[in-house]
Structure 1
Amino acid sequence: MGQSSVRGEGARERVPRAREHGWDDSLYEDAGTMGLRVRPGSGDGGGSGDAGSGPGHRRGGPRRRAKKSGKGKVLKWTAATVSLLILGTAGAGYWYYEHLNSNLRSGGRSGGDSGVKKAAPNALGNTPLNILLIGSDSRKDPKNVKLGGGKNLRDQKPLADVQMLLHISADRKNASAVTIPRDTIVTIPKCKDDEGNTYPSTSNRPINETLGRGGPGCTLTTWETLTGVYIDHWMMIDFAGVVAMADEVGGVPVCVETGVHDKPTRQVPGGSGLKLKEGTTEIKGEQALQWLRTRHAWGNDQGRAKAQHMYMNGMFEKLQKQNAWSDTGQLLSLAETATKALQVSDEIASVKGLFDLSMQLKNVKLNRMTTATVPTVESRIDRNKLQLVPSAADKIFRMLREDVAFDKNGDPKDAKPSPSPSAKPGPTAAAPGSIGVTVVNGTGSDTEAPIGGRARSISETLQGKGFTKARSSQGAEPRKDSVVKYPKAEGEQGKADAVSVATALGLPATAVRADAAAEGITVVVGQDWREGAVFKPAKTEAGDLPEGSDVVRADEKHCMPVYSVYRWDGKS
């Protein structure tokens, strides 16, 4: 597909900000509606508490004296003036709000059906929030050709060379970001783009090709299929967008252990052109893009991912220091740039949608923002590509699914499950012998063969517990987590029956899912249950990331090591 299928795509000329149009962005009290609430008496109307001023008059301006005989006319005139001021200012606010909305380009959330469902809410009704951040190498826009070269690539399908999943915990107290390197070999599922074009499933392909096989929605579906994590939204940015956002925040702090110059060499042509002295530098503009695109000087794609995480953490820190979540003027300025720089999934394609999304991060402290890269090794199929380390990848993905923090800085009491709200009495589960159950083997994956006989073994376990109608399926349904699905149309009774099946197998209640496509109660034995008759959940502890994850924490200073060939003395 390429970016052409993302609605509203195309280069847009910069429109001056609202304050350059002569209206005051301080008029808007509630940043949550991005300027839809007006403070009476602001702008040209002055402050109502100033002596010698009133509605419709500038501070310090001449005071209109009303004749006693004309008191009624003056009151009517004053009321009319106030009304015009409020309507005029609100009109400007509405115009600017609509202008920002018109900047946004969007597309469908998902490119296919991964079978992954949204996590069950916690006791307060909140669920984790997962956003897939995509960096596109598209050259369709001339600005991207100017910044990244490759004018011969204008008509080629773009690659998703940056793919990072941002996870915000259900309690909104911690956040984590996980990268899968661009050359990692995966199975790309069947996808459909926004123009209706269908792309068949394909195996052993680099994950960055997903963008050209159904757009960002296909990249999202691939991630869901691979991780078992439901992803709420995607956001995509290109070269020009990176430059604009870095300029908007006034630069992002990064650090190198030695001077670096990512230049062409005899053995390795190309290079980003990045040139920085040893230590910390605030980078912006093209330099920010060079930092994010550098690979040779960092040694490999894993090093590039780590550098990107440093940049992301640096921007997060900068926004916190700028009070970006509470400064209305700053928010409006960011909104102007962000709405032009980003392409987003349809359900957040509005200024309010983006603002509400950003506000989910406002309470995350620096010591609770952690980034990591999924460990990889050289692919057995192609030594120039990578493959995930199964045990390490499964552990990271399980932490995301179970909303386990990547840091150990949380309050211990937060780790304890909140008491569940009082449940309304529901129907009693039917007798085990009357419940039909189909068991499916889902233990296989891209890198591991399914465990033979798992469906038969679990169906026999159920039969031994009284579920005499349990049968195994010859089919396969690979998935990360084990689930018990029941037909959505069967409502509370179907749920009660499914819970009784889950309980018999040791599966938690969170493994029970309503599914409109289910024809009966179905147990899918996932990759997290490869042995044993009773499910035993793997222990996941906060901060216990697998070795090789290249962890970067936002509250700690990290400096990138530089490969010897690209070290720079800061002089030449």
Structure 2
Amino acid sequence: MGRNSVRGEGSRQREPQRRDSGWAEGAQSGGVEVKGGAEGSDSAASAAGSGSGGGRRAARGGRGARGARASRRRPVSKGKRILRWTASILSLLILGTAAAGYLYYEHLNSSLRKGQRNAGGSDVEKTAPNADGQTPLNILLIGSDSRKSKANQNLGGSRDKADAPPLADVQMLLHVSADRKNASVVSIPRDTRVDIPACEDPKTKRKYPKTNTIINESLARGGAGCTLATWQELTGIYIDHWITVDFAGVVKMSDAVGGAEVCVKQPVWDRPTRLVKGGSGLKLKKAGKQTLKGEDALKWLRTRHPFFDDVGRSKAQHMYMNSVIRNLKSQNAFTDTGRLMDIAEAGVKSLQVSEEIGSVKKLFDLGMNLKHVPTDRITMLTMPRMIDPKDENHYLPQPGAADDLWEMIREDTPVDGKDAKPKPKKPAAPKDPAAPAAEIGVAVRNGAYTDQLGAAPGRAGTVAGLLQNKGYAKAEAEKGGDPIAKTQLYFPSAELEGDAQAVAKSLGIPASQVKKSTDVSGVTLVVGADWRTGDAYPKPKPKKVDPTTTDASTASDESGCMEIYKPYVWHEGLER
């Protein structure tokens, strides 16, 4: 009986059941491991029958028939088999999902279009970290009017411009404070005349010389990297990244974020008129608030003449963006992985970005920077401007007001006037103290120039004379000096830092305007546009933004409504 029971346990009939159960354990019989297959049956039978009735004695000395039965492997219950199969299937599903997720992530990364960050010669310094080591974030948002694709031709018309270089009809600088407590979006109207630096197209290697023209042409002179270089030269703000979107991209992104609520005081139809050709095609047959998606959203963002001018269009664009931000906040989009993935996928198909943010993760991280900024601390505004005396259809940055705005952003000062920036800490004492004033050589250069006011002649000689009267006998005026907005003192090495700080203190120049530079060979003072007249350096005034010159609004403001220029007010008679 013992022999038969052992032989049965080791027979091949049991093997399929053991494999089906998902386990490969060996069955135990009287301390002998019984393996599946013929080899296992023969060895088990030999062990049981060896000696004089050894198998039977073993049975009697053990548990008899019960011990023999115990040698058989206990069948696995149906419930346990189901659990094991379920676990196996779940494991496969998890692995499959992970693999699919990884492949999808790589697909998104490879689909993302990227370009060179800076295509020009502008080189400005990043804002220094705050006391907690945090730095602000600046991103240039560009709307391109490219007609290269069929989709953009269908949406934007003008198929005859398919091969024309694209223009940057929308340009906005997104600034997020170092502490991520406030943010601002500043628009420059597309018809603003500025200096565009020399640029090189990173794809064609074509070089474009420096020029003075309207800012939207910067995109055609080396791509988004040239537009970034233009902004840096104009504002003195270091811009970390750029993001470009075309017509088709706006439609996709609008649908992904769920559209936005806008408001018009009168019904509107942007169409060709007797005096003005073209038009966006926007047609809203009722006044008041309404939600726009897809192509209607694109038409709203492109509409110009019904909102009177390019500044009115910027205001309408801000209204749209404010609504988008409110929607994303109310939908918890910054914490909803599914929503984020939808937006990311639309972004990958719609956007082109500077190469250093060329991955889905980095785009997610950028979005997260706005996660904790409340809507009432996100300010939309347009650069202060004046009519260009050379062309009444163009603008120029408003002297003073525009400079103050750029300085506030450079210094990470909130444009909404809240949470005023704390006073900067006094700089650490230089390792090498200052030499006597009579022994310090100072080169003084004149950089007091603006496009609007031109040069302030004689400033280098005047300030050099002031220093000589203060005991700096070796102060001398030098020819040259690039235009600079704010007066700066430079020193080439740590040994001369104390000398530079002493010169700054004697003139009342803030210590924050004393910087190390390898472009100078000694202590060098560049008189900026902020000191065009007078013997005393002007005391800095608290900077603030005038809402009347910037059309400022916040993302929490839902009260705005666009006035429509009378020739574009829709009524039923227009369609008869």
Q: TM-score range by the shorter chain?
A: 0.7 to 0.9
Q: Secondary structure at the match of 2:449?
A: coil
Q: Secondary structure at the match of 2:548?
A: coil
Q: Secondary structure at the match of 1:158?
A: coil
| Partner Cα distance (1:269, 1:223) in 2 | 30
Q: Secondary structure at the match of 1:273?
A: coil
Q: Secondary structure at the match of 1:319?
A: helix
Give 1:84-103 correspondences, 5 Å limit: 87-103=95-111
Residue matched to 1:258: 266
**CA, structure 1 residues 250+546, in 2 after alignment: closer, same or farther (shift >3 Å)?**
closer
Deviation for aligned residue 1:308: 0.9
Post-superposition Cα deviations, 1:264-293, rounded to whole Å, max 9, x if no partner, equal 222222111111221111111110110011
Match of 1:416 among 417, 422, 425: 422
How high is the TM-score relative to the length of structure 1? 0.81
| Partner Cα distance (1:77, 1:519) in 2 | 77
Deviation for aligned residue 1:251: 0.9
| Partner Cα distance (2:483, 2:553) in 1 | 31
The answer as to 2:483 corresponding to 1:483 is no
Residue matched to 1:428: 433
Deviation for aligned residue 1:235: 1.1
The answer as to 2:153 corresponding to 1:148 is no
Rg bigger for which structure? 2
The answer as to 2:217 corresponding to 1:215 is no
Match of 2:516 among 514, 517, 532: 514
Letter in 2 for 1:563: Y
**CA, structure 1 residues 198+516, in 2 after alignment: closer, same or farther (shift >3 Å)?**
farther
**CA, structure 1 residues 291+456, in 2 after alignment: closer, same or farther (shift >3 Å)?**
same
The answer to whether the 8 A contact 1:112-1:221 is kept is yes
Structure 1: tracts of 5 or more residues without a match: 1-62
**CA, structure 1 residues 295+455, in 2 after alignment: closer, same or farther (shift >3 Å)?**
same
| Partner Cα distance (1:439, 1:532) in 2 | 16
Match of 1:493 among 492, 495, 506: 495
Q: Secondary structure at the match of 1:253?
A: strand
Deviation for aligned residue 1:108: 1.7
Match of 2:475 among 459, 470, 484: 470
Deviation for aligned residue 1:419: 5.9
Q: Secondary structure at the match of 1:163?
A: strand
Deviation for aligned residue 1:152: 0.6
**CA, structure 1 residues 460+125, in 2 after alignment: closer, same or farther (shift >3 Å)?**
farther
Deviation for aligned residue 1:558: 0.8
The answer to whether the 8 A contact 1:396-1:545 is kept is no
Structure 2: tracts of 5 or more residues without a match: 1-19, 28-72
Give 1:437-456 correspondences, 5 Å limit: 437-456=442-461
**CA, structure 1 residues 249+546, in 2 after alignment: closer, same or farther (shift >3 Å)?**
closer
The answer to whether the 8 A contact 1:263-1:566 is kept is yes
What percent identity do the matched residue pairs reach? 50
Deviation for aligned residue 1:153: 0.5
Give 1:11-22 correspondences, 5 Å limit: none
How high is the TM-score relative to the length of structure 2? 0.80
Coordinate RMSD, CA, aligned: 3.0
Deviation for aligned residue 1:80: 8.9
Residue matched to 1:403: 412
Residue matched to 1:539: 541
The number of residue pairs the alignment matches comes to 500
| Partner Cα distance (1:537, 1:355) in 2 | 42
Between 301-310 and 375-384, the greater mean CA deviation after superposition = 375-384
Post-superposition Cα deviations, 1:129-159, rounded to whole Å, max 9, x if no partner, equal 2111111111112111110001110111111
Residue matched to 2:397: 388
Post-superposition Cα deviations, 1:245-275, rounded to whole Å, max 9, x if no partner, equal 0000111111111211112222222111111
| Partner Cα distance (1:396, 1:458) in 2 | 27
**CA, structure 1 residues 94+541, in 2 after alignment: closer, same or farther (shift >3 Å)?**
same
Match of 1:184 among 183, 192, 197: 192
The answer as to 2:366 corresponding to 1:357 is yes
The answer to whether the 8 A contact 2:432-2:497 is kept is no
Match of 1:290 among 299, 305, 328: 299
The answer to whether the 8 A contact 1:437-1:522 is kept is yes
The answer as to 2:205 corresponding to 1:200 is no
Letter in 2 for 1:504: S
Deviation for aligned residue 1:174: 1.0
Between 366-375 and 515-524, the greater mean CA deviation after superposition = 515-524
Letter in 1 for 2:349: K
Post-superposition Cα deviations, 1:16-60, rounded to whole Å, max 9, x if no partner, equal xxxxxxxxxxxxxxxxxxxxxxxxxxxxxxxxxxxxxxxxxxxxx
The answer to whether the 8 A contact 1:455-1:525 is kept is yes
Match of 1:233 among 225, 231, 241: 241
Residue matched to 2:50: none
Q: Secondary structure at the match of 1:440?
A: strand
Q: Secondary structure at the match of 2:390?
A: coil
Structure 1 or 2: more helix by fraction: 2
Residue matched to 1:55: none
The answer to whether the 8 A contact 2:168-2:219 is kept is yes
Give 1:292-307 correspondences, 5 Å limit: 292-307=301-316
Deviation for aligned residue 1:466: 3.8
The answer as to 2:558 corresponding to 1:549 is no
Match of 1:131 among 139, 158, 162: 139
| Partner Cα distance (1:98, 1:499) in 2 | 52
Residue matched to 2:12: none
Deviation for aligned residue 1:545: 2.1
